[in-house]
Structure 1
Amino acid sequence: MAASIAAAAAAASISHLLPAPKPKPRTPPRLSLLPRRRSRAAGAISASASAASDFLAPVPSLKSRLAAGDTLYGLFLLSFSPTLAEIAALAGYDYVVVDMEHGPGGITEALACLRALDAARTPAVLRLPEACPVWAKKALDLGPAGLMLPAVESPAAAAEAVSHCRYPPRGVRGAAYPIVRASAYGLDDSYLSRCEDDTLIICQVETAAGVAEIDAIAAVEGVDVVQMGPLDLSASMGYLWDPGNRKVRAALREAERKVLEARKKKDAAPKTNAAYLGGFAMPNDPAEQLKHRGYHMVAGAVDIGLFRKAALEDVKRFKDASMEIGEAEGEEEDEKEDGYWSE
């Protein structure tokens, strides 16, 4: 029974450790000549129990959802605010990327965000500052659903990045599994048997050199997702101030085509690796367009960007409204002078 529950709990975070609902004990039938009526209170309790069972059920992993054909929609968290992480999870994002590459936080701050996301049952992906074994080791020990590794430019670099996420002999990850959060501090006996299969490995391809090798990178065993990086790509091509340049768009479309074609051919060659396609929405290329073009994972927004937009709109609304209030106050003064108001 425990083995079947562990197999179903295909999640890299420790949220899979929430207890599964237990079967209710059988009770002897109650003898009565009168029909039994179900009270409203009993119905409410039953509904609450059902909701609790849903909450306690294992959270599907990102890998399993991608394999099932789901298109996943995510948010980038640069603020390192556990509150905003929790709100994002409750809003319904499929995953949240805690960004240690460009955000101000490190491992300690990321841990607080992971706890908030786990509590709200939303998978967390940690984006590392660089693709190196030290950062990968510390990040994986926190128990995220996946890692995002920046600036992968060759199949050799992709294979090395994958090795950072695996224990020897398949990789170089340091072993502290009996005491780290990823294994529930040693309480999860199944951790070693499933951690490498459950953890989503995302390689960012964000330079002209990486795009030239993208089909080979996507074919590296262990690379689950190839994540396009349009801003860095435009900078590497000499268009830092023009990420929507037609040459940048053409390079992105060609890279997309190669990854998506490899995914289509995977059915004919199931033993070969073919990574899923991930991307960032841009003002000139919104999230809906990425979805329509076949992306499997789409990051549509950044928490700071969402707050900035809402703050600017809020201030503008108040400033515009204050002018109307001023005009109304002037009209009231005129009415008072005309004798409509008593002294």
Structure 2
Amino acid sequence: MHIYRRLMTINRRGFSAEIRRPGTMRPGTPSPPPPPSPVPSEEAGPAPSLTLPGSRTHPLLLYGTAWKKGATAELVTTALRTGFQGVDTACQPKHYREDLVGNGLKEFLMTSVRGQHTPRDTLFIQSKFTSPGGQDPRNCPYKLTLPLASMVKMSVTTSLAHLDTYLDALLLHSPMETHAETLEAYRVLEDYVRLEKIWHLGVSNVALPELERLYEECQVKPAIVQNRFWPGNNWDVDVRRFCRDHGMVWQSFWTLSGNPQLLKSGVVQRVAIRVLEDSDKKEEALYLLVLALGRGWEKGGGVAILDGTTREVAMKSDCEAAALVGEVSDAELGEFKGLIGEEV
């Protein structure tokens, strides 16, 4: 029932491989801390950001840490120094080294950039609870014989210890096998929001019917959906519309690996030339067009991208490109929406 698929491509970005299976505060819950200020960066200025319920900000790019193995800590530190303001991980040893994400984060926060230390609240740190079906039984962060609620608690406790900080977001890596189990797991996460150990909740690899039902029945509303952007789910147009209508952030993965035809499209080529002034930057141009899908959402939220490049030069280029999302013209965005079947 839980399908985790791995797709690895080697290009100028290095390995681009991702696994992926959102919450307003309940009345009476203390307000979250003020929106973060921009992260000092050696290479790139602050990119535009999205607004989550409660007015916290969400970066346009999150550094994806799946399959980074022993290089995870160094890559996380490099990504943050280069201009990334968010990191995505999961308590799933099978594919993530969440402990090394914590080490990389700590190294970055302890190291000055241009003579200044970066405050923790300028970053967006996100992890996920992975169900038993997505875990390696030989290396699982919780006992598989435990009740579901205990599994979730043990996983979250492990994430908080690994990352040594509160979490800006915690997602279900996928819905559970039944809706009742999904709701049970989600309600455990709601308790951590009330305890102010997690600020926002979300869900990944979710179809619209399950998302609608979860949103209706939970108390801390999902603030984030993390889904594939590819032809296999019609580029998730219906789920993204739901996110727009409810002020949620829709996070894209498989953005490059799942879309070789879009990378060859005329509108991607034209954006690369006109906005980025480099015909070879088709990948950055596709990122810009995907990010622009979330432009102008009246209730907040928008579109963000998980970016798992291992090359520093690509990290820098992606961050610089993201700052130009406002330069995509309405005509270019309309043409791109036509390619993926989204209403203009």
Place the TM-score, normalised by the shorter chain, in its bin: 0.3 to 0.5
Task: Considering Cα pairs closer than 8 Å and 6+ residues apart, tell me whether 1 or 2 has the greater RCO.
Answer: 2
Q: TM-score, normalised by structure 1?
A: 0.48
Larger Rg: 1
